[in-house]
Amino acid sequence: MVPATNRLIVVTGGGGGIGRATALLCARRGDTVAILDKNGETAIEAAAAARDAGASGAVGLSCDVSDEAQVARSFALIHEQFGAPYGIFANAGIDIGGLIHEMPLERWQRILDTNLTGIFLTCKHGLRQMLAAQIAGSIVCTSSPASFVAFAAGGSGAYSATKGAISSLVRCMAIDYAEFGIRVNALTPGATETGLMWNNVAADQIETMRAQLRREIPLGRLAEPEDPARVVLWLLSDESAYMTGSHVVCDGGILAKSSISV
């Protein structure tokens, strides 16, 4: 197997939030980073920031992870420039709320295509390159506390279904690729100060919701993107070399807390 040096890390949804924070942390340790995002401008900007932060190489590409042609093209371009990846952070996702009986099929399909099929396509094309190059590396997929419990605010059935499926997929891939030395784990981030966090909250309600979350999260604050990003950095490193098929929860204590006050 190829030794874990001169690492190339591919990050989807890397134009902002946890993905961008992860790419910059990888850059600071000297990794090469390939940043994919549906918004190509943010991907390019994040790649420039990664170079400034110390990346040995960086590229930002526009990529809709629900479109296999775009995913395949992106991995081909990355391979042409840098070779096969050592690590993949399959992170791109959307959160569109709604009750199931009111949800148009088109919206349901869009959420599944981005969150679940996007993870599948990212891992599919990344794994092909890793296996061909005999790289024993690490894959991290973004799951959610919604994989284990329903959000109290409700209206998250489609999003939660994708995250539960991602958690199952992570466990299966961990078993399937262990013989090749490829580890697959899941990040389970809690409430984090990203655009996605407030996607289903009216602008005039964000500060009220933020204050409520601070009261309810045991650690008393929302995560900054760097908090879960540090978990991803660890899962992509040799320090977690004996971990696969696991979920690392970084949620300020949300899942540890009883949902009732007595």
**Tokens 């949800």 -> residue:** 103
Instruction: Estimate the crossing angle of helix 17-28 against helix 226-235, to 10 degrees.
Output: 60
Helix (H, G, I), strand (E, B) or coil at 246: coil
Spot the catalytic one: 86, 159, 177, 242: 159
Q: Which residues of 88-106 are buried (b: 16+ CB within 10 A; e: fewer)?
A: bbbbbbbbbbbeeeebeee
- Residue 153 is encoded by which pair of tokens? 């605010």
Please confirm, yes or no, whether 86 is among the known catalytic residues: no
Kindly give, in sequence order, each residue whose CB lies less than 8 Å from that of residue 115, ignoring residues fewer than 6 positions away: 93, 94, 159, 162, 163, 166
Which residue, 247, 22, 31, 20, is CA-closest to 137?
A: 31
- Residue 63 is encoded by which pair of tokens? 């990529």
Rounded to whole angstroms, the Cα distance separating 130 from 86 reads 7
Active site residues: 159
